[in-house]
Chain A
């Protein structure tokens, strides 16, 4: 395994039945990087993320996470944190915010073992990071979408993963919640955690938080620092000619630039 790269796609292709969703992805994600994945709806962003956690199996080629197959990487090291797209949950499910975050420890604990003091400390810390400590005892069904999303991020953090995958974490959330999610990404980057964040909503995403942008539309259109990737030609190609916001271009974004990660 090459320690410099946490994820390595080698000519990876994925079909759903007869339909090809990802074609010949050849990509290496450097350890500790902060990656933003953009592309229109149906461009394969979620499929790419699901392939990394082992929920999709390659039709051709392969993907290695920590130098191993995703399932093996998970089973051996449990180092992949995954926050799927916010979906409607069973509002009546009798489970508190704290208990949901503790579920992040279940895979690590293994069967027949109950959470120890250390697990409770990790869960409390994860809740603190997403600013949800005050809500710990609330039933998850009572929370707003943005609050639920923060709880699910805390659940992934409770795994203490070295790799965190966030699928559309900001979509549908208000501006302050989006901002808090991006601030959290910056903190995670400072802690040396590799993060991959997808979005189809270009207005919701602040690209300046990302060290590298992956433009995806079934294939890798471009992968590199925002300055190099966010060009009219590449964006037009990524979004198949659909309109995209011009504020993404370098000249329009300088005055709103904040901290960057590499």
Chain B
């Protein structure tokens, strides 16, 4: 027990703990929609593409969070517009724009005279460096996104399941699509402080995919994804603290372990479940 409580006497660890919990929940919930909408690649693309936003923010001496958020929202909208207007698939639009944006980011960073620790924190995740200000932004963004998803839950579910019929039913397909892209953009930027932009997809996709191994009820999927997201984020945080490794890597690896355990124990592996004394899986 001391292993869990002792580190929390440090204020930086308290910030990290609260931030990680918020990000674990946010990523898990948004991740469920990302997985159901088959938007995993856009999560990856936006995360990597946000590098240019960070670099611009750093060069201009703006707040990194704000710069990256605004830039990534713009990138998400641009991906949506290019997909719609340029007659290319969404995957192709993401491929074009995220690589362009990442190239811009690398170009800007390589032009800097010194390698900045702030930026490496965003690249690989630096959960222990979360400031009280970062924490406020993380909590505010998480609350806003979770409230939007809660209020428009049935609309987003309809859109995810059958976009065309959602449109016929009078819902704004474009509005739902772009608001989902914006929420994914904000989530990846907010989460990049913890897991880093390279590994943010792990926290976005893996808890939802792990939950998918256990249930075919959307409400259970969301709850399980939150549980797995929290376990991944918190265990990753402690592993990062005790073994002094990048938090992004420890969180992503913990999430991956949960996925493989879920995969092996889920209903696809019925005999194994029985040998562990688990009840028969309902699909």
What residues of chain A have their CB less than 8 Å away from a CB belonging to chain B? 53-55, 74-75, 78, 80, 82, 84, 89-90, 92-96, 99-100, 103-104, 106-107, 109, 111-112, 114, 139, 141-142, 155, 159
CB contacts (< 8 Å) of B152 on chain A: these are: 111-112
Are A92 and B212 CB-contacts (below 8 A) given A74-B168, A82-B168?
yes
B151-179 with Cβ < 8 A to chain A: 151-152, 154-155, 157-158, 160-162, 164-171
CB contacts (< 8 Å) of A109 on chain B: these are: 154
Decide: A99 and B170 in contact? CB cutoff 8 A: no
Are A74 and B164 CB-contacts (below 8 A) given A106-B155, A139-B216, A141-B216?
no
CB contacts (< 8 Å) of B171 on chain A: these are: 106-107
Number of interface residues of B (CB under 8 A): 26
Are A55 and B216 CB-contacts (below 8 A) given A94-B221, A103-B157?
no
Decide: A107 and B218 in contact? CB cutoff 8 A: no
The chain A residue with its CB closest to the CB of B217 is A94
Are A93 and B170 CB-contacts (below 8 A) given A106-B155, A112-B151?
no
Decide: A74 and B170 in contact? CB cutoff 8 A: yes
Are A142 and B161 CB-contacts (below 8 A) given A55-B167, A111-B152?
no
Decide: A75 and B170 in contact? CB cutoff 8 A: yes
The chain A residue with its CB closest to the CB of B170 is A107
CB contacts (< 8 Å) of B283 on chain A: these are: 139, 142
Q: Which of B157, B168, B283 has the most CB of A within 10 A?
A: B168
Q: Report which of B151, B169, B217 forms a contact with A107, defined as CB distance below 8 A.
A: B169
CB contacts (< 8 Å) of B164 on chain A: these are: 55, 84
The chain B residue with its CB closest to the CB of A92 is B212
Q: Report which of A89, A96, A112, A141 forms a contact with B217, defined as CB distance below 8 A.
A: A96
Give complex CA distance A93, B161 in Å. 7
Decide: A95 and B157 in contact? CB cutoff 8 A: yes
Q: Shortest Cβ distance from A184 into chain B, in angstroms?
A: 19
Q: Which of A78, A95, A159 has the most CB of B within 10 A?
A: A95
CB contacts (< 8 Å) of A74 on chain B: these are: 168, 170
CB contacts (< 8 Å) of B151 on chain A: these are: 111-112
CB contacts (< 8 Å) of A142 on chain B: these are: 283
CB contacts (< 8 Å) of A80 on chain B: these are: 168
B36 within 8 A of A: yes
Q: Shortest Cβ distance from A101 into chain B, in angstroms?
A: 12
B262 within 8 A of A: no
CB<8 Å pairs between A and B, sample of 10: A55-B167, A78-B170, A89-B162, A93-B161, A94-B212, A103-B158, A103-B166, A106-B154, A106-B158, A107-B170
Q: Shortest Cβ distance from A192 into chain B, in angstroms?
A: 22
Decide: A111 and B155 in contact? CB cutoff 8 A: yes
Give complex CA distance A104, B166 in Å. 9
B267 within 8 A of A: no
CB contacts (< 8 Å) of A155 on chain B: these are: 165
Q: Report which of B165, B212, B215, B216 forms a contact with A82, defined as CB distance below 8 A.
A: B165
Q: Shortest Cβ distance from A240 into chain B, in angstroms?
A: 29
Q: Shortest Cβ distance from B123 into chain A, in angstroms?
A: 33
CB contacts (< 8 Å) of A75 on chain B: these are: 170
CB contacts (< 8 Å) of A107 on chain B: these are: 169-171
B134-155 with Cβ < 8 A to chain A: 151-152, 154-155
CB contacts (< 8 Å) of B166 on chain A: these are: 103, 106
Q: Shortest Cβ distance from A111 into chain B, in angstroms?
A: 6
Decide: A99 and B218 in contact? CB cutoff 8 A: yes
The 4 closest A-B pairs by CB, nearest first: A107-B169, A139-B216, A107-B170, A94-B218
Q: A93-B36, A94-B217 are in contact. List 12 more A-B contacts (CB 8 A).
A: A55-B167, A74-B168, A82-B165, A89-B162, A93-B160, A94-B221, A103-B157, A104-B169, A106-B158, A107-B170, A109-B154, A112-B152
